[in-house]
DNA sequence: ATTATTCCTATTGACATAGTAGGAAAAAGA
DNA sequence: TCTTTTTCCTACTATGTCAATAGGAATAAT
């Protein structure tokens, strides 16, 4: 399962992309709209800053701005910045400690394929697409 | 990440498919070949039995047999039996407690797509393919 | 009766998750 | 200069999950 860090990161980035209009926006506003604990949102957003996906502005009237335009972000890079890796197993990551069974393990190739299926998918979705979904959905608060 | 339960389940099932030849095989042998703690392997295998993927034979000379032939298993059903679900988020599972933001969440469709990418992949790999990989790899114990 | 197996449940140490909390540092405005 | 609003940083904590380990009961062949 993807943890709340990854899920919140995606929603926070989507919100900023959808509503900031390129201006600095405070996390207070973003987290309120997304109903995410402001203090926890801070920690998630700090991962985005550290990865260079968001630019922070400190002080009064400060906040965050996207580092590039929404169509140039993929969901994959946001999730990786939050989660660390999307690899299903440790042994196929870069810099993984060598598994002694790697030469005889029948499932390594299977996991590589799994990883590729996930990677291809998340790298194929842009933040712009998510932001459009956000704007489309507002007002559509139908309870199924 | 997929837990050891899922990873071990796949390797144990693969081993049985590759080496049992349709006969009852004891878990002691299987777990030794796969270098998995026998006691822990018991717990993993019991999930397979409960899901009907393996048939158990109790008593002396007992063990386990595949419930069907390897080409009729997918990696997906084995992983789901071990892991419970492969869904990346709780809100898109069947019988999930309704999330109050479902009507306005911009990422739900993204996660559905993610889930589908994973599901399509794991349902497209058969146990027979894994068993062939196992047989091919034995003897290729090159240390990279 | 012995032995080899599966079956079932309890326990444990280590670690990760999902926050909460408090305050320091920065910068704008009065 | 003082106040306010923001980000930034670190520590703490409760809860739960993981990955086993452990012990013994039930079963069945010899």
- Nearest CB to A104; choose among B103, B106, B138: B138
Considering only A137-141, B30-34, B54-58, B139-143, which range has the smallest mean pLDDT? B139-143
Q: CA B41, CA B76: separation in Å to the nearest integer?
A: 19
Q: CA A29, CA A70: separation in Å to the nearest integer?
A: 19
How high is the pLDDT of residue A97? Answer: 75
Q: CA A78, CA A6: separation in Å to the nearest integer?
A: 8
Instruction: List, for residues A87-116, the tens digit of each pLDDT value.
Output: 999 999 887 777 888 888 999 999 999 999
Q: Which two tokens stand for residue B15?
A: 């081993």
How high is the pLDDT of residue B139? Answer: 64
Q: How far A59 CA sits from the closest chain B CA (Å)?
A: 30
How high is the pLDDT of residue A88? Answer: 97
B63, B22 in Cβ contact below 8 A?
A: no
How high is the pLDDT of residue B53? Answer: 98
CB contacts of B110 in chain A (<8 Å) are 10, 75, 125, 130, 133
Instruction: List, for residues B84-107, the tens digit of each pLDDT value.
Output: 999 999 999 887 777 888 888 999
B108, B55 in Cβ contact below 8 A?
A: no
**Which residues, listed in sequence order, are joined to residue B57 by a DSSP beta bridge?**
B63
How high is the pLDDT of residue A140? Answer: 59
Alpha carbon separation from B86 to A20, A44, A108, B7, B77 (Å, rounded):
34, 24, 18, 13, 10
Stretch A5-23: mean pLDDT: 97
- Nearest CB to B104; choose among A87, A114, A141: A141
How high is the pLDDT of residue B84? Answer: 95
Has residue B144 got a pLDDT over 50?
no
**For chain A, which domains are there?**
4-85+126-138 (1.10.10.10)
Strand C, nucleotides covered by protein (CB < 7 Å): 3-9, 16-22, 25-29
Helix axes A127-137, A75-83, angle to 10 degrees: 100
pTM of whole model > 0.85?
A: yes
């Amino acid at each position: 399962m993807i943890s709340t860090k990854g899920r919140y990161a995606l929603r926070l980035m989507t919100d900023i992309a959808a509503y900031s209009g390129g201006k600095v926006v405070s996390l207070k506003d973003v987290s309120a709209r997304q109903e995410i604990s402001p203090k926890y949102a801070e920690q998630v957003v700090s991962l985005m800053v550290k990865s260079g996906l968001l630019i922070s502005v400190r002080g009064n009237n400060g906040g965050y701005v996207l580092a590039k335009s929404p169509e140039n972000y993929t969901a994959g890079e946001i999730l990786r910045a939050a989660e660390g890796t999307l690899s299903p197993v440790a042994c196929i990551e870069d810099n993984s400690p060598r598994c002694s069974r790697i030469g005889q393990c029948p499932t390594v190739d299977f996991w590589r394929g799994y990883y590729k299926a996930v990677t291809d998918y998340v790298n194929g979705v842009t933040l712009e697409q998510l932001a459009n979904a956000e704007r489309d959905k507002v007002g559509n608060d139908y309870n199924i």
